[in-house]
A and B are shown apart, each in its own frame.
Chain A
Amino acid sequence: MTLALLLRRVDWLLVAAVLLLLMIGQRAVRAATVNDLLGDPGFFDRRHIIYIVAGLGFAAVAMVIDPRIYRRLFWFIYGSTIGLLIIVLGFSAARGSQRWIPLPFFTLQPSELGKVTMIVCLSIIIADCVRRGIRGWGMATRAGLLMLPPFALVFIQPDLGTSIVYIAITLTVLVVAGLPGRSVAVLGGVAVALVVLVLGILPSIGLPLLRPYQAERITAFLDPQGGSDAAYQAQQSMIAIGSGGLAGRGGGVSQTAGSFLPEHHTDFVFAVVGENRGFVGSAIVVLLYLLIFWRVGRMIPRARNLEESFIAAGVFGLLLTQVAINIGMNLGIAPTTGIPLPFMTYGGSNTITNLTAVGLVLAVGARIVREQALVPGWQERPRSRLADPLEAPSDAV
């Protein structure tokens, strides 16, 4: 379709919400990092803006590209993701725990890019499953096989948080694709069992799979008064947020800008908003995310084909998981993991990843062809009557 048509179809509400969050995030990062590098208060700010611009560029490109092309590029996308993850492991072996590949201008974190590429690959595979009638455990198994290599490579890095996001993306797409509720519950139970296994049982018989600091982060969440690093950060975050009060303490931050909260520009950037803008500001941020969830969720049943529908589902899961865990972590109700807050956390890879995901979703949303007969069987007028006034009355039964 032409560019003009595309621009008219784009979901500008979604774009506005994302831009607003980007702005709020930029101000938060700037306020927080002002004292980080003596003599250069704008160091992080400048880089953050560059990352945002780069991410918007990627988003624009992703929006313009027709998502049907990705099917042809499936192996290239999948292969290069796995390849980059393996390279990172190579770097990690050489230099100790490391999740990124140093490039001339910035560091590339393949596990972040993998989130987006895996959404695309997963959508293609699961769409095939649905079309061929494979469902239930067959579909789940295929999804598992696809996701196992990247998941394992990320888990070994070690990057617990990102591997959880991979699981969440997979589950979301499977749910949307029709995995029965019972299976979901079983999978959920298995996940919990795994957590108990990895955290509790295996270490006690001498096979710790998690690094000590990772385990400590999770258990610190359960015992916030402990003296560990992770518990300390969670406490500091709550203090910062809590002290923000109703309307915040204004721009001159003391808690988050000082050395009190070390990750104030990354994991804990929400705490900066909490301290500076108080309840009002924090709630606005949360509601903006809710707006984004709604806009993305709307697209899932309306996408013009299965792949795009699942892409939107994957992005939904991606954003929801990151927001839930990151903000939960800031508020002390989720364990500390290195999951970024979309559009707000400082960092090249995650900014580009999340904005690219938005670009994909905008691509999906812009190509919803409203006058076209909705795909039979898929776009049924639902009995629960979630009527879309723009939906053409369906003559097909």
Chain B
Amino acid sequence: MSTPSVDEPTIVQPPPPEQPLVTAEVFDRDGAARRVAVLGGVAIVIVVILILRLWSLQVLDVQTYRAQANSNGLRSIDVPASRGQILDAQGKLLVGSRPSNAVAIDPTRFPDLLTLCGRDVAGPVDGRTSNERALAISAALIEAARFSKARRVARIAAIQRELDGTEQVRAWAGCTKQYPQLAELAQVSGITVVELEDAIHTAAIRAPFDSIVLAKDVDRNVLFYLKERAAQYPGVRIVEGTARAYRTSRGTQGKTYPLAPHLWGELAEVSAEQIKDQVTYRNAEPGDLVGQRGVERYFDRYLRGTSGLLQRRVNAFGDPVGAIVRSQAARPGDNIRLTIDAGIQSAAETALREAIAYAKTHGHPAAEGGAIIAMDPRTGAIRAMASNPGFDPAILAGPGGQKYWNSLVRNTKASPLLDRAMTGLYPAGSTFKPVTAIASVEGRVAKSDSVIQCTPEVTIDGQTYRNFESGINEPMNLVQAMTASCDTYFYELGKRLYEATPKSGQFEPQPLWARRLGFGASTGIDIGGDAAGNVPDAAYKKRRFGDDRVHNRWTSGDSILQSIGQGDLEVTPLQIARLYALIANGGTLVQPHVGASVYGQDGTMREKLESAPGEKVAVDPYILATIRKGLEGVTQDPDGTAYTAFKGFPILVAGKTGTAEKLGKRDFAWFAGYAPATNPTLVVVCVIEQGGFGGVTAAPAVRQVMAQAFGVQEATIGQISSAEKAGVYFGPALGTDPAQEVQAQDSSSSTQPATTTQGSTR
């Protein structure tokens, strides 16, 4: 610092204009740089602390941390919720869950595996990738079940061609080659390398969240083997899960059969499309198993619980060590109680099986499939729904499921996946006669006591129609005509109904009443999927025959054929059951349903599922009473077509037989009955494809089901059949009247297409 001279003024440089002068007394100048130095000191201290800490961790304690790193790890595991059980009306277990262990791999341990195995190539034929085709095929298969048999066969053949096509475009083949331990793993788990690659491919497309399951329901020895050699198979996990287990029933000769396989439906991972359906699949998340059809699907939102989460410490090999870090309990699904009664269901399936077997050995070798439905006519609650042939859902849920599914689909001859009770389409035959009676009386073309001559044949509009019983020629009223199932009585009614058709073409009386009584449309059953059937009318004929002037009108022939349940009429056994329930309960069209209530795991009822009350149809109760009398006669009157079949049965059963014709096939056997006739609590309908006479083949099956339902102890069809074979039973064949059988054989040969009339149903 230079001292200023006394006489020279000090020249202070003016500050640059933008910066105001900062006077010393206001501002602490010394501290400025000192303060910065302090800050600098703080920074240095912090850095020193950090470096010392680094030294401590990385040099002094490195061994400890290295050891911890090796035994370190955290895995998040989805804890799947246990799926609710399906119980019968009494609470008996029908479908439950069983433990199922699977071998899986952790995809993050195999870099590039998903990219390689996820490769998919658009198919040469239609530009869709193989996965898209597989999904389209599954959807198409479910659809195909609804069609009538002919269309179904064609559809499944087309699907089969596609199925064969997809297997050729395996763009991901060989994707596991770079990991030879995977091939070893496949061998140990008992699957082929092709199956391994397919499993990884399917998973890769779905963008797996967790492990990829390679093989399900693996043998315990395999599990132990893999666990012991965890070091050899890094990235391999044993996944403990569950699979469905199904109740079985004991049949004849002690064999076990699956119970009601068509009701349940399979479980599969929810697809992207299905997640969007928030009504059926409420709150479903990717990776959840959901029901695809039937009960499992329509009650999925109750049955499927909510997954929980488990975070565990695992070591480098993936084995759990130490504590659970975080866990969130899974919420188990609720149980569903059905209206189905396991005892009646079992009896129905046994009766169906035995009746078909018996028919095969007693003159009807073509008897194959069939269905039985048992329903409560007061509420529409379904007590049993059996369809034959069936399949084993336990195999579908197990390891060989995919192959088994393919074989079931390819079996177009038997169509085992088809639920014939709900979606089987059949000609109704004589079981349809009550509809004609109701239409006639309500349409004022006849009265409940109208008497008409029952002749062996009748000619109307140049067409000759025959009665099944060629030997009868006497006047009958409705009750008698119903009991003896006189076809000409109903031809006359059909003719009158045709003449009563308004010229304006607004409606045709027969189809109108058929629709009012529930035919031609789905019944709205809660598990869905039932067929609508077909009720021909003038519009139908126009649609079907187009410009063909000969055939595209509603003729007397159409009305007459429909009056005995033939023609192009197609009904399902479920619809027939509903009709007879209406007759039994005095005029209410009940809503068939299978679901009864939802129960929590703690046993408390959460929700009642029983659906709306039925719809009252405006039918004169007197006509229904008359019909009921006629139906009682069927089993009580010696002229009744099911007299022999129900002889000696302690409970009064009323019903109707049917022997429906179908072009190119043998007659379809029907019986629809209810009991006790005075105050009906059960309707049972049975149809047996190509089984011959309803009173002979189907009626004994219905009797057997009713015996179980009402606690009547008597011999089953199977027992009688075995007794016959053993030579200890020489009585009449079930339900047969030998005289009638001979006559029927005569008349069945005379109703061949030569006369182009489809007549004579009984």
Contacts and interface: CB of A to CB of B under 8 A. Distances in A.
19 contacts: A38-B108, A130-B22, A135-B26, A176-B32, A178-B32, A227-B325, A240-B69, A242-B58, A258-B73, A259-B73, A260-B74, A279-B59, A283-B54, A286-B50, A300-B36, A301-B32, A320-B46, A378-B29, A386-B33
B53 interface: yes
Nearest to A397: B1
A147 to B, nearest CB: 19
Contacts of A244: 58, 62
A164 to B, nearest CB: 15
Interface stretch (B37-45, B186-194, B333-341): B37-45
B615 to A, nearest CB: 47
B125 interface: no
Contacts of B72: 236, 239, 255, 260
B21 to A, nearest CB: 7
Interface of A: 35, 38-39, 68, 130-131, 133, 135, 172, 175-176, 178, 227, 229, 232, 236, 238-246, 254-255, 258-260, 274, 278-279, 282-283, 286-287, 289-290, 293-294, 297, 300-301, 304-306, 313, 316, 320, 323-324, 327-328, 331, 333, 372-373, 375-378, 380, 382-384, 386, 395-397
B65 A243 contact: yes
A279 B43 contact: no
Contacts of A372: 16
Interface in B566-595: none
A243 B54 contact: no
Given A133-B26, A172-B39, A278 B58 contact: yes
A297 B21 contact: no
B39 A327 contact: no
Contacts of A133: 26
B58 A382 contact: no
A245 B33 contact: no
Interface string B57-84: 1110110111011001111100000000
A23 B15 CA distance: 43
Contact of A232 (B108, B111, B325): B325
A25 to B, nearest CB: 17
B624 to A, nearest CB: 62
A96 B406 CA distance: 49
Given A130-B22, A290-B44, 14 more contacts: A35-B108, A175-B35, A178-B32, A239-B68, A240-B69, A244-B62, A246-B58, A246-B59, A254-B69, A260-B72, A290-B47, A375-B15, A378-B29, A383-B30
B728 interface: no
Interface string B105-127: 00110010011001000000000
A246 B56 CA distance: 11
A242 B66 contact: yes
B65 A239 contact: yes
Contacts of B28: 178
A178 B18 contact: no
Contacts of A232: 74, 325
B111 A333 contact: no
A377 B58 contact: no
B51 interface: yes
B24 to A, nearest CB: 5
Nearest to A227: B325
Contact of A297 (B34, B39, B47, B68): B39
Tell me which of B35, B44, B62, B74 has the highest count of chain A C-beta atoms within 10 A of its own C-beta. Answer: B35
B35 to A, nearest CB: 6
Chain A CB within 10 Å, residue with most, of B50, B65, B69: B50
A131 to B, nearest CB: 6
A378 B23 CA distance: 9
Interface string B394-414: 000000000000000000000
Contacts of A35: 108, 111
A176 B54 contact: no
Closest 6 CB pairs of A and B: A242-B65, A243-B69, A279-B58, A242-B57, A377-B22, A380-B29
A39 B115 contact: yes
Contacts of B49: 333
Contacts of B731: none
Interface of B: 1-2, 12-13, 15-16, 18-24, 26-40, 42-44, 46-47, 49-51, 53-55, 57-59, 61-62, 64-66, 68-69, 72-76, 107-108, 111, 114-115, 118, 207, 316, 323, 325-326
B30 A255 contact: no
A334 to B, nearest CB: 10
B310 to A, nearest CB: 14
Contacts of A239: 65, 68-69, 72
A306 B20 CA distance: 10
B31 A178 contact: yes
A133 B21 CA distance: 12
Contacts of A260: 72-74
Contacts of B51: 283, 286
A39 B58 contact: no
Contact of A241 (B43, B57, B73, B107): B57
Contacts of B61: 242
B73 A382 contact: no
A313 B43 CA distance: 13
A328 B19 CA distance: 41
Given A35-B108, A227-B325, A243-B66, A301 B43 contact: no
Contact of B62 (A245, A289, A304, A376): A245
Contacts of B64: 242
Contacts of A300: 36, 39
A133 B20 CA distance: 12
A240 to B, nearest CB: 7
Nearest to A35: B108
A305 B572 CA distance: 95
A55 B114 CA distance: 35
A394 B28 CA distance: 18
A289 B47 contact: yes
Q: Which of A175, A236, A327, A377 has the most C-beta atoms of chain B within 10 angstroms of its own C-beta?
A: A377
A278 B72 CA distance: 19
* Most chain A CB neighbours (cut-off 10 Å) among B18, B33, B51, B54: B54
B39 A316 contact: yes
Given A320-B43, A378-B27, A331 B50 contact: yes
A126 B62 CA distance: 48
Contacts of B35: 175-176, 178
A176 B62 contact: no
Contacts of B46: 320, 323-324
Nearest to A320: B43
Contacts of B36: 176, 297, 300-301
B22 A282 contact: no
Contacts of A327: 50
A175 B47 contact: no
A185 B582 CA distance: 93
Nearest to A39: B115
A278 B29 CA distance: 44
Contacts of A227: 323, 325
A286 B33 contact: no
Contacts of B47: 286-287, 289-290, 293
Most buried by A among B21, B44, B58: B58
Contacts of A283: 51, 54
A175 B33 CA distance: 11
Nearest to A134: B26
A328 B20 CA distance: 42
A259 B23 contact: no
B282 to A, nearest CB: 22
Given A274-B58, A290-B47, A380 B53 contact: no
B27 A377 contact: yes
B40 A293 contact: yes
Contacts of A68: 18
B754 to A, nearest CB: 69
